[in-house]
Structure 1
Amino acid sequence: MSIDSFDARDTLDVNGTAYTYYRLDKVPGAERLPFSLKVLLENLLRTEDGANITRDDIAFLGQWDPSAEPRHEIQFTPARVIMQDFTGVPCVVDLATMREAMAGLGGDPARINPLSPAEMVIDHSVIADVFGSPQALRINTDLEYERNRERYQFLRWGQTAFDDFKVVPPGTGIVHQVNIEHLARVVFPREVDGVLTAYPDTCVGTDSHTTMVNGLGVVGWGVGGIEAEAAMLGQPISMLIPRVVGFKLIGSLPQGATATDLVLTITDLLRKHGVVGKFVEFYGPGVGQVPLANRATIGNMSPEYGSTIAVFPIDQLTLDYLRLTGRDDEQIALVEAYAKAQGLWFDPEATAEYSEYLELDLATVVPSIAGPKRPQDRIALSEAKSTFLTTLPAYVSDPLASVDDTIEGHGVTLSHGLVGVAAITSCTNTSNPSVMVAAGLVAKKAAERGLTRKPWVKTTLAPGSQVVTSYLQRAGLDAPLSQLGFDIVGYGCTTCIGNSGPLVPAVSKAANASDIAVVSVLSGNRNFEGRINPDVKMNYLASPPLVVAYALAGTMDIDLVHDPLGTDDQGNDVFLADIWPTPAEVEGVVSSAISSQMYQTSYADVFAGDERWQTLPTPSGETFEWADDSTYVRKPPYFDGMPVAPEPVEDIRGARVLLRLGDSVTTDHISPAGAIKPDSPAGKYLVEHGVERKDFNSYGSRRGNHEVMIRGTFANIRLRNQIAPGTEGGFTRDFTQPDGPVSTVYDAAMNYREAGVPLVVLAGKEYGSGSSRDWAAKGTMLLGVRAVLAESYERIHRSNLIGMGVLPLQFPAGTNPGTLGLTGEETIDISGVTRLNDDETPHTVKVTATAPDGRVTEFDAVVRIDTPGERHYYLNGGIMQYVLRSLLKG
């Protein structure tokens, strides 16, 4: 039981069942708080212990000043943790390693065990090797099991070794869609100290798009895997009470605009406004015009505009969605009763107090795409062709180049802008029945007019759950999608995470031999450079029906608003407007084709898996038996030689710059998830260990092996390191050698390590944007990087760096490596770090950069350790070491 100094504990009766709950109206000022802060306030009330969470913390949040900058630290305890397998496998690897470390330090290894529910959905491993065939799903799934058998056996061990840890097997769906359709509770009923207690369902997840669940009124966000591990082990998450942006919605979407267009518009607005590290909360009369699936789509894209969350309150549409997706009546009644009792039920006439205000009239949204390399770079569909042609020269040496070839027996001319990949993929949109049905109707109307996909286009359909297949089949839309090549290739992220598989061979040849700028169009949330496919230079986000349209057109060099997509059997031009469904058509199919029974059937035994999963041999035992010859799962070195008490941190002396990077360097640039090149350090490692090229799999699937991942750090094929001009990819200069020759990042880092030289990274704005990829921080640390100096950081990566014992520093306002004249050839000293040992976090440290000619540049870098909790993590060498020592103390 908590201390309950506000006497907030009470009983809520729901149809004869009594739940203990903590009343928000007992805290002065709670009624004026935004929805999201009310959820945080309840969290503090329920977990008050007088130490981590005090009466003063609760009172401070109740009296929150919307205009103040974040300064008050609180300890947030999420109700559960959710993971996907790319980030989840290293989590389980770390937990297994922590068990051994605990035993080695004289503690009880069983103490390393989830204390709150942890659920993993295996969705990132299926690759679209085969497409355009009814057999694609079966073949790709067989290949998935063949490639990932070792990883899946390891996860099966984790299921049995750890309590309260469940795994949703492959072939079920995408983590965030499974989360909103089944796993999310909205209000959590759980026995706490023998008492049935109700409280808001909150979560953190090892994927940045955990925010999709915000559409259900669940406060949750993405964290790095190491932070998720700490949360699983009962450690609260240290955070500052954030600023909250109130986003007012009015009006309703016009005909022709989709949920994808809405979310791209919101992404554009919020990225321009600046919401990194803030909560975004939607309110106003337009909220009721946004269906739950659209809300989830908007929440999903929160990382793309940089906010921690983008949440919608609980209302009747929430209950209707819970009912549609097969939640039981008792749970739905609890959600309604609890939300109304706590003031969490949406009132369209009410306005909470917010730090900042924005407004959007939904009627102003127009059809849009985004690209060619960032989700926030929205382009009105009417301007897509002109924008593409304006952007193209930055990507090619000869804008007029083309190649003649033969595909499927037809002579073709391949030119810049050809669509090499058209993928209906990602939880962002495959969770939304309206846009999926719209895609099916576009395909049906196109097929009826005799249109076909262009032969060079790789067309894939990866539903986010099996329910999508059910309603497409019931509506008779699966056949026309298949007729245009959109056969199901798997139930997983596929193209959006970089598992697009090989392109049509002639397209790949044109890209590599003739520098043809190949384009992908996908219904996903990420279009970063080098992510989708190594042969694709330009990537565009679009709604599922537009993905179908671009597959028919075959090129970005087309104005879909005014140019025909092709001709019908009578030679008549067919325009996009001719095959675009009306809202009434879409709604008619959605209402007739989707039922609650579909969800109940699909999720009836969601953790059981098919025969392949159930018959996997499963290791047993409290600790894992590591295989010396494994190339997938290896014991990492994080705890090697770790003393019981941490040693004092030291200033950084004589460091060299490993990389000097520009703006918008993403975690994909730092730690790619996709294909492993044979001539890369990671590829050479696999070959040396007997792995054939066809079995390389991806960086994402190899995250349980630190040897592969350290070699893949900063190995993105589109990375541009300004220390090594003229190169692209994982290259730098090695200043342990005379004249600093160009070398791979990994080889140079190992030479620096052998010479005892610490490393730093220099970067520009928005460093570490994108995925909540803990390996971007793990790999950085394992390469020997002690500090990163950036102009600004995205929230999750900055936190991850601290979690791995890497010091995040920020250049003085208005400066960057260029304005300071830093080339990357300097020797770097950082003094003042030792003040962290003295129970304080210094605001700045002094950086002294000495150039080869003796020129000295000095400046005060801002220390981006933002909370006392983060200071403790850094002093311990990382969050895992901190948690291990805390548990060891008992």
Structure 2
Amino acid sequence: MVTEDFSDAIREFEHDGETYTMADLTVLEEQGLCDLDSLPVSIRILLESVLRNADGDVIDADAVRAAASWEPDVPDAEVPFTVSRVVLQDLTGVPAVVDLAALRSAADRKGVDPTVVEPEVPCDLVIDHSVQVDHFGSDDAYEKNVEIEYERNEERYRAIKWAQQAFEDFEVVPPGTGIVHQVNLEHLGRVVHDREVDGERWLVPDTLVGTDSHTPMIGGIGVVGWGVGGIEAEAALLGQPINMSLPEVVGVRLSGDLPEGATATDLVLHITEKLREVGVVDKFVEFYGPGVSQLSVADRATISNMAPEQGSTISMFPVDEKTLEYLELTGRDPEHIDLVRAYLEEQGLFGEQDPEFTEVVEFDLGEVEPSLAGHKKPHARIPMGDLDEHFPSLLEEQGVLGPGGEPAIGDGSGTSTADSTAAGPGLALDEKVPVELEDGTEVEIGHGDVLVSAITSCTNTSNPSVMVGAGLLARNAAEAGLEVPEYVKTSLAPGSRVVTEYLERSGLLEDLEDLGYHVVGYGCTTCIGNSGPLPEPIEKAIDEHDLWTTSVLSGNRNFEARIHPKIQANYLASPPLVVAYGLAGRMDIDLEEEPIGTDDDGEEVYLEDVWPDTEEIRETIHDSISPEMFEEKYASVYEGDERWESLDAPDGDVYDWDSESTYIREPPFFQEFPLEAPGVDNVDDARALLTLGDTVTTDHISPAGLFGEDLPAGQWLKERGVEPHEFNTYGSRRGNHEVMMRGTFANVRIKNELLDGTEGGYTVHHPTGEETSVFEASERYREDDTPLVVMAGEELGTGSSRDWAAKGTDLLGIRATIGKSYERIYRDNLIGMGVLPLQFDDGEGWEELGLDGDEYFEISGLEDGLEPNAVLTVTAENEDGETVEFDVTAQVDTPMAVEYVENGGVLHLVLRRLLNSELN
């Protein structure tokens, strides 16, 4: 029900003989609250949500006025945004299911009907992040990998199937279907919902949050959606509005045309680099201008997908004729497409827009050149022609090589990998190590060699132009007699089954397979760290000779130790370039000038010789893709194969927890749950658990990949009879807090400055001075009731929307983090767990203040409670009694966020409200 102030805005809308209800934005303009044409499209979508959901209670008239008050110099206003749906993937979806089950158990223990915990908005969970590349380069690789996937994850999948039957409007897309973002783009995304609410048939803009940071990919079809941690997604599922500060909106004006030979991936790497330079963290980005019409929807989605790498909350394109053509191509109902047009035209949201923006960035498509990003940052663009100079310079910077390409340290002991046990002689750049593989094949590897070449992830597999381009390049290379070296692990993970269908129809799948790029699964695979093992002799050679080997992938993330813990340098590239560098077998090469290989006659073959023609790509796409393909593949999207159907899931409203399980365990968050909020107090006599530098990612804080038996998480599993080959990954164990808190700050590449030069999850236990694991130290501090803090530099928590990076931080006993700046999602996740994210003043940091990390810390200014953006005082005192006092700002910027912290977290607040409502 809308408040009386704006009741006229709710009206009927007639279309094609049907009557709908809608929230009419033009009424607000008539009342003088805003000029719709001057508002960015994304702000109008936010405004519609606030207007439609205004009830005079949770969302009042002031909230509508606040949302309508947007202008380029953004006012300080809070917007309660209610999404129309939520999307989960399984690595973040399983812990969400576990939390929802824990909430029901908590309600049951209080004598409250557990079904009081019920999603208020529809949810889709797509299982796509669990498949690993154990098998590759063969026709049966997919079947073998899926079989292993089910063996490893059966218990997790049973929990998901329980949720599917326990909760209403909770749908599951089973394994082997596609990656969440491509399924979202090709099928789940509606642009406009036709939805029954309280007996009325409403038209509602499609809006969402998802538990993957790349959810903004849906902005390619004009849908407002962004990534959040599982904690915030769960709150949204339970009907909690997302309370956010009114955002700045940056307009990116596109002009010109892409040059011949430049791909959508090259374009997105340029835009990512540009927007990182501009600075768009916490901001919305909208693309407009004449260049927009030059881009296909698939190109737009490729750009939108990289919003987290750009730093923005969303990166959104307008809904125009090309959008509707894409909806038609992907098999959406023609009547729905007509309805989308009619509704958006009625709201003034269809077609090209030219609103006012906080800032305008000009970008000329004609300046794009073939590029990659690396070696550990997705926004660190490298022109393709510079790689031959980039890689030797990188090894010099890392102390691996001297200026002449010779080993910097003769015995090779200078830069060994974190888990190297027998570092041997260092190698020069042009030296190779002989390696005999398990099948007897002899190969040679050295610095810069490509060990993983993977066409993977949603960034590119949603885009037919680069997928067809990769296939045509493979065809041309195979015809020229080129082969991928034996030491390169090749893989193809299509974003949906439609991709496989059009590659088969065009004959290009066979061409890719000729070079070893067989389908290994439908999911994130290598980009999330599920690249699978390298051959043991190769891993041994890496350790013995401190090799800086490489991977090249068509993904969006290349953080340290993410792709594979043994591979030091990782590069993002378009699918055609992934194949090209796989053929070359090394990254320290200028493919503009040097040959990619030799043909059957021993003649040199260059990249330009095998690069596909743009017109041939267009013709292949035209001849190979049809709406019927999408209709067929998505007709049974929720059914799954016989493996999924045969899974026996538990039933009932309350989950039956197994205390012996090593995958799914009831978390401690709600087990002893007071009905009164605990509030927030000053922090006294805290110690620093870690002192970190810049760009510490959520992968550093909560890694997703493989781990060994020597780490605390591995030790816990071994104690319970789990063999190392059964460990699976951290990501697959996110339903078990015992594993996950032991894995927090346990990345093998994380550098704790409390320990000089040591890599990995280790720290100093200050009272004793003993070096130990982060988890062991936290346990000792807990026994002494010692609160903890973590200090860091710029961009703390950049990367994936990983709720366990915040949950683990909380479970380790960390009361506050103190950094120079934060990535939005990690900051919000900390707030969602009741942990204070504090920020140093400009120009200050722990190094600038002369702090070592061995001080005692007091955080004061909370004795009267917490206020939004409160300035607090931190006093650090060393063992000699010397003190350093400095101010920090709490990055808690809305009254609702304050409530989250005071309640110990957002789910604690939601549960407390539900229980008190039922019990009082």
Both proteins in one fold, TM over 0.5: yes
- The question of 1:242 aligning with 2:247 is answered yes
Which residue is 1:16 aligned to? 17
Q: d(CA) in 1 for partners of 2:678 and 2:3?
A: 35
Q: What is the Cα deviation at residue 396 of structure 1? A: 5.4
SS of structure 2 residue aligned to 1:835: coil
Q: d(CA) in 1 for partners of 2:732 and 2:443?
A: 36
Which residue is 2:154 aligned to? 149
- The question of 1:322 aligning with 2:353 is answered no
Which residue is 1:279 aligned to? 284
Which residue is 2:229 aligned to? 224
* Superposition pairs of residues 533-612 of structure 1, within 5 angstroms: 533-612=564-643
- Which of 13, 20, 38 is residue 44 of structure 2 equivalent to? 38
Q: d(CA) in 2 for partners of 1:55 and 1:157?
A: 40
Q: d(CA) in 2 for partners of 1:654 and 1:410?
A: 60
- Which of 686, 689, 694 is residue 658 of structure 1 equivalent to? 689
Q: What is the Cα deviation at residue 755 of structure 1? A: 1.2
Which residue is 1:170 aligned to? 175
Which residue is 2:435 aligned to? 405
Which residue is 1:468 aligned to? 499
Per-residue CA deviations over 1:630-669 (Å, capped at 9, x if unaligned) read: 0000000001322101123211001000000000000000
Does the 8 Å CA contact 2:63/2:80 hold for their aligned counterparts?
no
Q: d(CA) in 1 for partners of 2:359 and 2:593?
A: 40
Does the 8 Å CA contact 1:396/1:515 hold for their aligned counterparts?
no
Q: d(CA) in 1 for partners of 2:60 and 2:814?
A: 37
- Cα RMSD for the two superposed structures: 1.2
SS of structure 2 residue aligned to 1:119: strand
Q: d(CA) in 2 for partners of 1:104 and 1:661?
A: 41
- The question of 1:300 aligning with 2:327 is answered no
- The question of 1:882 aligning with 2:913 is answered no
Q: d(CA) in 2 for partners of 1:156 and 1:317?
A: 37
* Superposition pairs of residues 241-640 of structure 1, within 5 angstroms: 241-347=246-352, 350-395=353-398, 397-398=400-401, 400=406, 401=427, 402-407=432-437, 409=440, 411-640=442-671
Does the 8 Å CA contact 1:27/1:59 hold for their aligned counterparts?
no
Does the 8 Å CA contact 1:520/1:539 hold for their aligned counterparts?
yes
Letter in 2 for 1:637: P
- The question of 1:786 aligning with 2:787 is answered no
Per-residue CA deviations over 1:407-439 (Å, capped at 9, x if unaligned) read: 465543311011010000001101111000000
Q: d(CA) in 2 for partners of 1:608 and 1:396?
A: 53
SS of structure 1 residue aligned to 2:669: coil
- The question of 1:62 aligning with 2:68 is answered yes
Q: What is the Cα deviation at residue 31 of structure 1? A: 2.7
Letter in 1 for 2:248: R
SS of structure 2 residue aligned to 1:690: coil
Deviates more, 1:226-235 or 1:24-33: 24-33
- The question of 1:3 aligning with 2:16 is answered no
Does the 8 Å CA contact 1:426/1:494 hold for their aligned counterparts?
yes
- Which of 90, 93, 106 is residue 95 of structure 2 equivalent to? 90
Which residue is 1:667 aligned to? 698
Q: What is the Cα deviation at residue 213 of structure 1? A: 0.3
Q: What is the Cα deviation at residue 318 of structure 1? A: 0.7
- Which of 44, 52, 58 is residue 52 of structure 1 equivalent to? 58
Letter in 1 for 2:390: T
SS of structure 1 residue aligned to 2:67: helix
Q: What is the Cα deviation at residue 200 of structure 1? A: 0.5
Which residue is 1:813 aligned to? 842
5+ long unaligned stretches in structure 1 = none
Per-residue CA deviations over 1:474-493 (Å, capped at 9, x if unaligned) read: 00001111110100110110
Q: What is the Cα deviation at residue 251 of structure 1? A: 1.1
Which residue is 2:415 aligned to? none
Which residue is 1:761 aligned to? 790
Q: d(CA) in 1 for partners of 2:869 and 2:731?
A: 37
Q: What is the Cα deviation at residue 97 of structure 1? A: 0.4
Q: What is the Cα deviation at residue 252 of structure 1? A: 1.3
Does the 8 Å CA contact 2:679/2:901 hold for their aligned counterparts?
no
Q: What is the Cα deviation at residue 506 of structure 1? A: 3.2
Letter in 2 for 1:100: S
Letter in 1 for 2:434: D
SS of structure 2 residue aligned to 1:390: helix
Which residue is 1:774 aligned to? 803
Which residue is 1:204 aligned to? 209
SS of structure 2 residue aligned to 1:249: strand
Letter in 1 for 2:196: E
Which residue is 2:412 aligned to? none
Q: d(CA) in 1 for partners of 2:506 and 2:164?
A: 38
Deviates more, 1:238-247 or 1:392-401: 392-401
- The question of 1:854 aligning with 2:881 is answered yes
- The question of 1:702 aligning with 2:733 is answered yes
Q: What is the Cα deviation at residue 11 of structure 1? A: 2.2
SS of structure 1 residue aligned to 2:520: coil
Q: What is the Cα deviation at residue 394 of structure 1? A: 3.5
Per-residue CA deviations over 1:348-402 (Å, capped at 9, x if unaligned) read: xx52010000011111111100000000000111112211221122445356414
Which residue is 2:127 aligned to? 122
- The question of 1:872 aligning with 2:873 is answered no
- The question of 1:77 aligning with 2:82 is answered yes
Q: d(CA) in 2 for partners of 1:158 and 1:536?
A: 37
Letter in 1 for 2:229: G
Does the 8 Å CA contact 1:25/1:31 hold for their aligned counterparts?
no
Deviates more, 1:714-723 or 1:686-695: 686-695
Q: What is the Cα deviation at residue 303 of structure 1? A: 0.3
Does the 8 Å CA contact 2:690/2:791 hold for their aligned counterparts?
yes
Q: d(CA) in 2 for partners of 1:4 and 1:312?
A: 34
Q: What is the Cα deviation at residue 404 of structure 1? A: 2.0
Does the 8 Å CA contact 2:193/2:204 hold for their aligned counterparts?
yes
Letter in 2 for 1:58: V
Q: d(CA) in 2 for partners of 1:62 and 1:657?
A: 44
Does the 8 Å CA contact 1:45/1:58 hold for their aligned counterparts?
yes
SS of structure 2 residue aligned to 1:836: coil
Does the 8 Å CA contact 2:859/2:875 hold for their aligned counterparts?
yes
Per-residue CA deviations over 1:87-118 (Å, capped at 9, x if unaligned) read: 00000100000011122234321110111101
Letter in 2 for 1:806: V
Which residue is 1:27 aligned to? 28
Q: What is the Cα deviation at residue 853 of structure 1? A: 2.4
- The question of 1:822 aligning with 2:822 is answered no
Q: How many residues align structurally?
A: 883
Per-residue CA deviations over 1:588-613 (Å, capped at 9, x if unaligned) read: 10010011111111100110111110
Q: d(CA) in 1 for partners of 2:192 and 2:776?
A: 51
Does the 8 Å CA contact 2:66/2:78 hold for their aligned counterparts?
no
Letter in 2 for 1:363: G
Does the 8 Å CA contact 1:836/1:871 hold for their aligned counterparts?
no
Letter in 1 for 2:608: A
Q: What is the Cα deviation at residue 741 of structure 1? A: 1.5
SS of structure 2 residue aligned to 1:229: helix
Q: What is the Cα deviation at residue 842 of structure 1? A: 5.9
Does the 8 Å CA contact 1:732/1:748 hold for their aligned counterparts?
yes
Identity over the aligned pairs, expressed in percent?
A: 55
Per-residue CA deviations over 1:58-114 (Å, capped at 9, x if unaligned) read: 23333322113x520010000000000000000010000001112223432111011
Q: d(CA) in 2 for partners of 1:616 and 1:648?
A: 44
Q: d(CA) in 2 for partners of 1:517 and 1:270?
A: 30
Q: d(CA) in 2 for partners of 1:360 and 1:243?
A: 19
Q: d(CA) in 2 for partners of 1:395 and 1:506?
A: 25
Q: d(CA) in 2 for partners of 1:648 and 1:147?
A: 41
Letter in 1 for 2:55: D
Does the 8 Å CA contact 1:4/1:48 hold for their aligned counterparts?
no
